[in-house]
Amino acid sequence: MTLETTLQQVYDLPISATIRENVNAFPLLESLHVLAITLVFGTILIVDLRLLGVGAHRRSADRLIRELLPFTWIAFALAVVTGSLLFASNAPAYAANREFQLKLVAIAAAGVNMLIFHATAHRKIAGWDLDLPPPAAVRVSGFLSLLLWTVVIVLGRWIGFTLDVLF
């Protein structure tokens, strides 16, 4: 089974056809996707700026992260579900789109950056919890996260202008 046949099978799924054929389905999914992305970016921005040394509404970085991360994760899950449905509606075209491919790479890079942060600096958070600005390693994590998520949003918008199949 090649990638092409898999993509075509996804395209042929009844739900993919419904999204293509129902006039309101695609814009509704897009709206939910934008809502999810603004929630992901909006909450991550507050945390990333705190990691960079810009104060949030509370001093403790640990409490701020635990307060906002659930919102980020729920919104991210919504973004993945809506994004997957948008992808399914035109799987071969999205898979062939350069901006879409780069967007997935940027999301993966943001994930790796987060994993590194949680495996290193976050373990020692008790030592810098109230520091403004935090240690350099923490600031690097915050900066990379902001940069990568900004790239994700820009690439996502570009897909709408470069995708081969428009309907």
Partner 1 sequence: MFLQTFGEWLYDTPVATGLRETTWVIPAVQSIHILAIAVVIGSALVSELRLAGVIATDEAPGTVVRRYLPWIWRALIVLLLSGTVLIVAEPARTLGNTVFWIKMGLVLGAFVLTLSFRRPLLVAADGVVSEPAKAIAWLLLVVWVVVIFCGRFIAYT
Cα dihedral across residues 99, 100, 102, 106: positive or negative: positive
Q: Which stretch binds partner 1 (CB under 8 A): 6-14, 102-110, 121-129, 149-157?
A: 149-157
The residue among 95, 84, 80 whose CA lies nearest residue 7 is 95
The C-alpha torsion from 160 through 102 and 144 to 38, rounded to 10°, is: 30
Question: Six-digit token pair at 74?
Answer: 């729920």
DSSP at 53: T
| Site residue total, partner 1 (CB under 8 A) | 30
Among 5, 119, 161, 166, binds partner 1 (CB under 8 A): 161
Shortest Cβ 46–partner 1 spacing (Å): 6
Shortest Cβ 30–partner 1 spacing (Å): 5
Q: Which stretch binds partner 1 (CB under 8 A): 79-87, 124-132, 133-141, 158-166?
A: 158-166
Alpha helices in the chain (DSSP H): 3-12, 14-21, 25-52, 61-89, 91-96, 98-119, 125-128, 136-162
Shortest Cβ 77–partner 1 spacing (Å): 16
CB-side neighbour CA atoms (13 Å) of 87: 18
Q: Which residue, 41 or 87, is less far from partner 1 as judged by CB?
A: 41
Q: Which residue, 121 or 152, is less far from partner 1 as judged by CB?
A: 152
Shortest Cβ 6–partner 1 spacing (Å): 29
Angstrom distances, CA of residue 26 to CA of 15, 149, 159: 12, 23, 14
Q: Which of residues 25-84 bind partner 1 (CB under 8 A)?
A: 27-28, 30-31, 34-35, 37-43, 45-46, 55-58, 67-68, 71
Q: What is the CA radius of gyration of the chain?
A: 18
Residues lying near partner 1 in the complex (CB under 8 A): 23, 27-28, 30-31, 34-35, 37-43, 45-46, 55-58, 67-68, 71, 150, 153-154, 157-158, 160-161
